[in-house]
Amino acid sequence: MSKLAERKNDGKAEYGLIPLWLLEGLARRLGAGADVYSPWNWTKGQSVTEVIGSALRHLSAFQSGETIDPDPKMKGTEHIDAVIFNLLMIKNTMAEFPELDDRPKRIVHKSGVVYDEKAVLDPFDNLMLEIPQDLRDFLLKEKVMKQYLENYRNFSEDSKNINKIMSAFSWKLTPEGFDFWNDLDNKFDYGK
């Protein structure tokens, strides 16, 4: 027997491992969708959370024991194929239309609890975001504000300590803090 041709496939996608018979239901689902909408309509992108919602509804129906999608427009295709289709649509949307990724942004707090990004913003940062940019820049350049920020950052790790909170805000009652805010009142209109 002669030597076979060489082929270098290291690091390439292993398409030969995809059992095509499992994709038949997906192909039927794509065909039903093409009849209802248009071929390749799903590649135009859609809100990621909307597609996640669809995938979860089909998964819930499947988990509840319903195998076939009762929607007559879907021509007897299975819920599990609708889930696969929705995941494919999410993958396409994320690659082609990242601006449609409207999932809530989450961060993990040091306690291990997951929060929405805005929920764990430092309260001072939330306040600063509401201040017009020119006023914010001015405040951050002032020595008094820098001191305030340092004090605030020191106690923000332990917001339950009322004494630290009160002392951090007490700078406003000092002559230096009082003069600072009076100067601000004279420099900015605040929409009055």
Per-residue confidence (pLDDT) for residue 64, from 0 to 100:
97
Looking at 100, 132, 162, the residue that finishes a domain is 100
- Examine the domain organization and report whether 95 and 130 are in the same domain: no
Per-residue confidence (pLDDT) for residue 110, from 0 to 100:
53
C-beta neighbour count of 85 within 10 angstroms: 23
Does residue 110 lie within any of the structural domains? no
Beta strands 106-108 and 114-116, pairing class: antiparallel
Does residue 77 lie within any of the structural domains? yes
Per-residue confidence (pLDDT) for residue 3, from 0 to 100:
87
Does residue 35 lie within any of the structural domains? yes
Per-residue confidence (pLDDT) for residue 170, from 0 to 100:
47
The residue range of the domain holding 29 is 20-100
How confident is the chain (192 residues) per 10-residue block, as mean pLDDT? Answer: 84 92 96 96 95 96 97 96 97 94 70 55 52 59 53 47 43 53 53 45
- Examine the domain organization and report whether 24 and 86 are in the same domain: yes
Entry pTM:
0.56
3-state secondary structure of 190: coil
Number of structural domains (the chain) is 2
Does residue 41 lie within any of the structural domains? yes
Closest CA to 93 of 42, 55, 59, 56: 42
Per-residue confidence (pLDDT) for residue 142, from 0 to 100:
54
The whole-angstrom separation of Cα 86 and Cα 70 is 17
